[in-house]
Structure 1
Amino acid sequence: AHQRGAKIICLIHDLSSFRNKSLTPHEEIMRLNATDVLLTHNHMMRQWLSEHGCKVKMIDYEIMDYLHGESGEPHEPVAGNYSLFYVGNVSFKTHPYLRKLAEIMPDRDIYIYGHHPDTEEISKYNNLHYMGIVSDRQIIKSHMGDFGLSWYGESLDDGVGRIGEYMSYNNPHKISLYLRCNAPVIVWSKAGRAEFIEKEHLGLTVNSLATLDEKLKKIDYKEYRHLTDNVRNINAKLKSGFYLDQALRQAIDYLSVSST
């Protein structure tokens, strides 16, 4: 592309050197340094890349857009009695925290959508409901659950293990899916998107899921409505491609100035 006079803007979806170790950091940085502008998830990822030798211009695109699917309506929950939903790999082997969470909040319903279910184990918990493998369009339109849960790894407390640690650096696409559902989200307080969630008042950031039940009990109906009103505003932006468009404009402006 460079030989033909083109400029390269690279949008990062995942870092292979970090998530699945299919590349070393050096191998990945070598490839990324061959581009002209990198669109990075957040300042944490940008800092990690810089520390590992990335030299090109980096621009955060804040959150992944989610263009398709018709938005549903926010739920009308009973204040304090909010339910949760999680979309993704629901295997207890990969995410044992799901089992632990069901155990510590037995009176709160948790709806899980996705693949690799331990159906026999799930059936042991009256509050854990496996909803099957459902298209994102259908989830957006008619999901169960009042708060979307974005959590990875083994522990209720923090980013333990390779997948859990990656929470600090990436913007999970499922957060965008939850927001398209008009649902407030729950994320780890040190996650890459925690700052965005707090700034826009889109849900809860917690140090540990062990404290979640008490936090949910304190949220009254007015506060929940305030969260869903904020979510609805971000929902419209995600559906329109606002965040990618904004990042691309910055990248193009930078390339225009740097080439003169």
Structure 2
Amino acid sequence: MKGRKVRYYLKDSFLHNQHEKNAGSKARNDVEAILISEGYKGLEIKVDNWYQMNFFKAQQHKYSATKSVFDQLGLGDELVIQFPIIHHTFLIAQLIKQAQKRGAKFYLLIHDIETLRHAAGSEVKLRHKLRNYFQEKKAMMSVDGIIVHNDIMKGVLANQGFPVDKMVSLEIFDYLIPNFQEKSLPQKEQAIIVAGNLNPTKSGYLYSLPENPAYNLYGVGYDESRALNNITYFGAFMPDDLPAALEGSFGLVWDGDSSETCQGTYGNYLRFNNSHKASLYLAAGFPLVVWKQSALSHFVLENGCGIAVESLHDLKETIDNLSDTDYQDLVDNAKRVGQEIRDGHYLKTALTHLK
């Protein structure tokens, strides 16, 4: 028998190249770094390239790999899992329950929830519904605690039957910046920053923006052949290099195909979801522009670190109506929150509230 409990995290890595110019792994890598700083030890799930296997062989392989990790847990041990699990198995809930019988505790940190992403979207294929049920709902129901994005997400999940006392709100994602150097103060008259996935399927609104204000774009997937006159495209950067490259007045958090509102699968998801790019902007010292109906609007307005609009067609007037003092207050608050984000404050705080 082991003497004292150990706090672990599941080290669960993508099989593809870690040096891609997108933020796919950035959020997970930062969570790992913060957990390590808090004394958590990594338990690595070791898998072969199951993408080359047929469905049943892949499931069997991932089940065995996950079981070999969970079998190491004993009485009083705790395991934090970033969710969704990259190497997911349909039988994850069963494996969790087996380890819980030995006295282990499991906690999930939510990055994405597919059932919420598609909540207001189009019809979901039966195959995906089954996967969402076995790999999402059953897993989430079986654990001892869940770190969700915000109180809106907590409320929606409570309505779906998840116990409120098991859920803790993160509020906003942390974003670690190695060798951070403060930039010169942003100015109200500068362009709006848009960073991330600029592909028309996710960010279609970028191709139908009003003439003002101007926008500075950073990221992958941008169709330059459709560039508008008020757009400057700066290319793609590695996540740790991106903050220093950003120039502008506000960072924009917007999704979907319309500049009038956030709609479609990606746009509606902002009603529940904390977009990771919000953390990027704040960590870099920029106040935010968010959709008024987004979950993040509550955090932004309560902390005074940005503005909320119903439509991007309202944005120029909203900014014009800000006095220089108003704007400076937003920048000061963004810098204050940004410091907390760079320090890992939000995850560290959420971890202390898990039962």
Residue of structure 2 aligned with 1:73, choices 183, 187, 193: 183
CA shift, 1:76, in A, is: 4.1
Matched, 1:161 2:246: no
Among 150, 159, 171, which residue is 1:42 paired with? Answer: 150
- What fraction of aligned residue pairs are identical, expressed as a percent? 30
* Counterpart in the other structure of 2:330: 227
Pick from 84, 102, 109 the counterpart of residue 11 of structure 1.
Answer: 109
Where do 1:245-260 residues align within 5 Å? 245-251=348-354, 255=355
Deviates more, 1:141-150 or 1:189-198: 141-150
Contact 2:186–2:248 at 8 Å: present in 1 too? no
Q: Judge conservation of contact 1:158–1:207 (CA < 8 Å) in 2.
A: yes
Distance 2:186 2:197 in 1: 27
Alpha-carbon shift at residue 138 of structure 1 (Å):
2.5
Q: 2:163 — aligned with what?
A: 55
User: Relative contact order, CA 8 A, sep 6+: which one is greater?
Assistant: 1
Letter in 2 for 1:119: E
Please identify, of 222-231 and 154-163, the stretch whose mean Cα deviation from structure 2 is larger.
154-163
CA distance in 1, matches of 2:214, 2:150: 32
Q: Which has the larger radius of gyration?
A: 2
Between stretches 227-236 and 21-30, larger displacement belongs to 21-30
1:111 has 2:216 as partner? yes
Shift of residue 52, structure 1, vs aligned partner: 1.7
Give the Å deviation of 1:203. 0.6
> Does the residue aligned with 2:177 lie in a helix, a strand or coil?
coil
Cα deviations by residue, 1:181-239 (Å, 9 ceiling, x for unpaired): 10000001111111010000001111111111111112232222111111111111111
Q: C-alpha distance in 2, partners of 1:204/1:112?
A: 19
Residue of structure 1 equivalent to 2:39: none
Counterparts of 1:44 and 1:76, CA distance in 2: 31
- Matched letter for residue 45 of structure 1: M
SS at match of 2:317: helix
Contact 1:62/1:196, CA 8 A, preserved across alignment: yes
How many angstroms apart in 2 are the aligned matches of 1:76 and 1:191? Answer: 24
Alignment of 1:131-150 (within 5 A): 131-150=234-253
CA distance in structure 1 between the partners assigned to 2:334 and 2:181 by the alignment: 11
CA contact (8 A) 1:82 1:216 kept: no
- Please say if residues 71 and 180 of structure 1, whose CA atoms lie closer than 8 Å, have aligned partners that are also in contact: no
Q: Partner of 1:258 in structure 2?
A: none
Check 1:157–1:71 CA distance in 2 against 1; reply closer, same or farther (3 A cut). farther
Q: Matches of 1:115 and 1:201 in 2, distance apart?
A: 30
**8 Å contact kept, 2:273–2:295:** yes
Report the Cα distance in structure 1 between the residues aligned to 2:173 and 2:241, rounded to whole angstroms: 19
2:203 aligns with one of 58, 81, 95: 95
State which of 186, 189, 198 in structure 1 corresponds to 2:289. 186
Shift of 1:23: 4.6
Deviations 1:97-149 (A, max 9, x none): 11222xx234x320111111111111xx2221111111233221231211100
Alignment coverage as a number of residue pairs = 245
Hey, what's the Cα distance between the residues in 2 that align with 1:133 and 1:64?
22
| Counterpart residue number, 1:121 | 226
Q: For structure 1, which runs of at least 5 residues remain unmatched after alignment?
A: 256-260
Comparing 176-185 with 48-57, greater Cα deviation is found at 48-57
Instruction: Report the residue type matching 2:182 in the other structure.
Output: G
Spell out the pairing of 1:174-213 with structure 2 (5 A cutoff).
Answer: 174-213=277-316
Measured after TM superposition, the shift of residue 17 of structure 1 is: 2.3
1:60 partner amino acid: S
Whichever residue aligns with residue 268 of structure 2, its letter is E
- What CA distance in whole angstroms lies between the structure 1 residues aligned with 2:107 and 2:202? 34
TM-score, normalised via structure 2 length = 0.65
Counterparts of 1:93 and 1:47 in 2: how far apart (Å)?
29
Judged with a 3 Å threshold, the aligned counterparts in structure 2 of structure 1 residues 214 and 54 are, in CA distance, closer, same or farther, namely same
| Alpha-carbon distance, 1:166 to partner | 0.3
